[in-house]
Amino acid sequence: MISSKIGLNQGTSIPVLGFGTYCDPPRERVEHAVEIAIDVGYRLIDTAMIYQNEKYVGAAIASAGVPRDELFVTTKVYKDAMRMNAVRDSFEESLENLGLEYVDLLLIHRPLSELNVATWHVLEDLYNEGLAKAIGVSNFLIRHLETLCETSESVPAVNQVEFHPFLFRSELLEYCTQHGIIIESYSPMVLGKRSDDERLQVIATAHGKTPAQVLIRWSIQHGCVPIPRSMSENHIRENADVFDFTLSDDEMAGMDGWNEDYSVIGPDPDEPDLH
């Protein structure tokens, strides 16, 4: 069920399916999309300072009429704030934009090699102060995670990365699983760029589902938390309708073999300072 949750290593829990809010201008249209998503049943709402839409997300949350403790709101600090030693200031601006007293999850948006550890320690302070109920990272590779684990008191609750059968990051998934880190999968539907894959269409037809729903379901069955995004009401509702079927072991294994290291957002941050 969309209301189901997964426990995090920092004592809270995260919904099994989220709603991503990144969109191209005009960004105010995200307000209506978030209102629809909350009405459909989404409780995990994911945004970021760099998206320039936190005020619209906050307005939608304020008008939704859902108790704050039933929502799980995520935002992120970007590299500009890391470089300027302004992580706390950036986060406080995010809280003001969102109209919230705390967020449920705060992430480092992208790794910046020489500043990851210092930034993480600021996030730990915000967590200890109760301003972020959980803290994590985004777009981190194993080597970035290892450095944090070696130099910090806490382990990230979440690593939000691009994750789908065409970019099946099995080693990263294994590492995160071993260390109690939940993978949040963004672009779980490959931005529709693989919807015409015949293998995917066969599985979708067999279950009476769309290719997008199969891709979301694959992510969920790997223990990940997908955060599909759409500005279309039909697609927002469709993306949530993934809890009435299960992919078989054979289907899962077959999809695991589709990896082609295809990323819809570009290369991994192997040189994080450059991206």
Higher pLDDT, 196 or 3: 196
Query: Are 127 and 148 a contacting pair, CB within 8 Å?
Result: no
> Which residues are catalytic, by number?
51
**CA 172 vs CA 203, 252, 257, 270: distances in Å:** 26, 18, 16, 14
Q: Residue 132 sits in a domain of what CATH number? A: 3.20.20.100
Tens digit of each residue's pLDDT (9 = 90 or more) over 194-203: 999 999 999 9
In a domain, residue 269? The reply is: no
In a domain, residue 41? The reply is: yes
User: What pLDDT is attached to residue 3?
Assistant: 86
Would you state the structure tokens that stand for residue 81, as one six-digit string?
């704030």
In a domain, residue 135? The reply is: yes
Report the mean per-residue pLDDT for the chain: 95
Range of the domain at 139: 5-257
Cα distance from N-terminal residue to C-terminal residue, the chain:
37
In a domain, residue 274? The reply is: no
In a domain, residue 263? The reply is: no
In a domain, residue 54? The reply is: yes
Q: Provide mean pLDDT across the span 2-28.
A: 95
In a domain, residue 271? The reply is: no
User: What pLDDT is attached to residue 268?
Assistant: 58
pLDDT confidence tier of residue 269, bands split at 50, 70 and 90: low
pLDDT confidence tier of residue 253, bands split at 50, 70 and 90: very high
User: What pLDDT is attached to residue 242?
Assistant: 98
User: What pLDDT is attached to residue 267?
Assistant: 64
pLDDT confidence tier of residue 113, bands split at 50, 70 and 90: confident
Residue 134, pLDDT above cutoff 70: yes
User: What pLDDT is attached to residue 272?
Assistant: 46
Query: Are 43 and 67 a contacting pair, CB within 8 Å?
Result: no
How many structural domains does the chain have? 1
**pTM for the complete prediction?**
0.95
In a domain, residue 104? The reply is: yes
User: What pLDDT is attached to residue 28?
Assistant: 95
User: What pLDDT is attached to residue 265?
Assistant: 85
User: What pLDDT is attached to residue 153?
Assistant: 86
Tens digit of each residue's pLDDT (9 = 90 or more) over 67-80: 999 999 999 999 99
Enumerate long-range contacts of 166-170, CB under 8 Å, 24 or more apart.
Answer: 166/190, 166/194, 166/258, 166/259, 166/260, 166/262, 167/259, 167/260, 167/261, 167/262, 167/263, 168/256, 168/258, 168/259, 170/256, 170/259
Tens digit of each residue's pLDDT (9 = 90 or more) over 158-195: 999 999 999 999 999 999 999 999 999 999 999 999 99
